[in-house]
Structure 1
Amino acid sequence: MSPQTRTLTAEPLSADAFAAFGEYLDLGAGGERVLTTRGDGWTDRRSLHAVLETPGHLGFTLGAATPFQITGMERHHHTREVLLCAAEPVVVAVAATAGERPDAADLRAFLLQPGDVIVLAEGIWHTACHGVGKPAHYYWMATADDSIADEWVLPTGAAVTVEAAA
């Protein structure tokens, strides 16, 4: 008997859709959680509040292309993690499963557009981000503590493939 498989299609981000996993900020368009300022030749947007509760590190990752099979997910109990979409859209899969492994039935995938920011709550399972149809870079912020091993594990229940919307 072959193992069960599940295919997820990334859905667009909104504050309501992402609420179970953390916070969504649209730095591209602004909004209620974003402060916009303007000057001579520039416009700036920032979050109204701190996105990390601890000192943070900044990272820059190149994610492989969609579609992708989930080969591992991680979670952090010591920090929130902020994922920032740069110049190209990216997709991330998340789950709020409380156990030692994420459950494939709990997984959702989201499409981040340039300017989109998500703040993963502590304990939220997540993949790396992947570019839509081609590799793409994204930024992340979190407290990086080399003494804490955040294990990458496979979801239970099914093999999962994630794709971007057609």
Structure 2
Amino acid sequence: MSKTIICEPLTAEAFLAFGEVLEATGEPDKIINQGLCGRFHDRAALDFTGDDARAGISLFKSEKRELPYRLEMVERHPLGSQAFIPMTLEPFLVITCPDEDGKPGTPRAFLTSAGQGINFHRGTWHGVLTPLSEPGLFAVIDRIGEGNNLEEFWFEAPYLVKPGP
């Protein structure tokens, strides 16, 4: 029997324990490019460990998923943070879990708004990339380097993620 999780809107405050919300809100930090561009500066802390570690930009193209969504597993990256920046203005599902003695606690589900991306803190339990529309194309900034940077956890019983009110 599955447990139910209700999606909540993604806000910087609600997501703070898991990482940063990447969005261009409020006034820009600087005006650049002959006064025609607002720069929203340094919105996420990239965090990588290891002597050979460096930031890399990859492109992920994931299949569209639908709500309700069956959550069976989560993963984390102990050696580096991981940022997901959608290359469309479509919302996507973000699932996170607090760490409870090295295992994921009760998951939380967030639904992004158009123009939002996220950066997971290093070691944060999270669901897989879950676009809710085609083409599911994302720029991903994460750690490139040697070492085991992936841990998976499969739940004994799946969770069912449903849309919020």
Pairwise TM-score range, normalised by the shorter structure: 0.7 to 0.9
| Aligned 8 A contact 2:91 2:113 in 1 | yes
User: 2:6 aligned with 1:9, yes or no?
Assistant: yes
Match of 2:23 in 1: 26
User: 2:41 aligned with 1:47, yes or no?
Assistant: yes
- TM-score, structure 1 normalization: 0.76
Matching residue's letter, 2:111:
L
Match of 2:58 in 1: 59
Query: C-alpha separation between the residues in 1 aligned to 2:16 and 2:77?
Result: 18
Matching residue's letter, 1:16:
E
Out of 98, 101, 105, which is 2:100 matched to?
98
User: 2:76 aligned with 1:75, yes or no?
Assistant: yes
Match of 1:147 in 2: 147
| Aligned 8 A contact 2:79 2:149 in 1 | no
Give secondary structure in 1 for the equivalent of 2:99.
coil
Pick which of 141-150 and 36-45 moved more: 36-45
Q: Deviations over 1:68-124 (max 9, x none)?
A: 212321111111111223312111110012344323xx2111112332122211221
Give secondary structure in 2 for the equivalent of 1:153.
strand
Give secondary structure in 2 for the equivalent of 1:69.
strand
Matching residue's letter, 2:131:
G
- TM-score, structure 2 normalization: 0.77
Q: Structure 1 unaligned runs (5+)?
A: none
State percent identity of aligned pairs: 24
Query: C-alpha separation between the residues in 2 aligned to 1:12 and 1:90?
Result: 11
Matching residue's letter, 2:56:
H
Query: C-alpha separation between the residues in 2 aligned to 1:137 and 1:85?
Result: 6
Query: C-alpha separation between the residues in 1 aligned to 2:46 and 2:149?
Result: 20
Q: As a proportion of its length, which structure holds more strand?
A: 2
What is the Cα deviation at residue 41 of structure 1? 9.0
User: 2:108 aligned with 1:114, yes or no?
Assistant: no
| Aligned 8 A contact 1:69 1:162 in 2 | yes
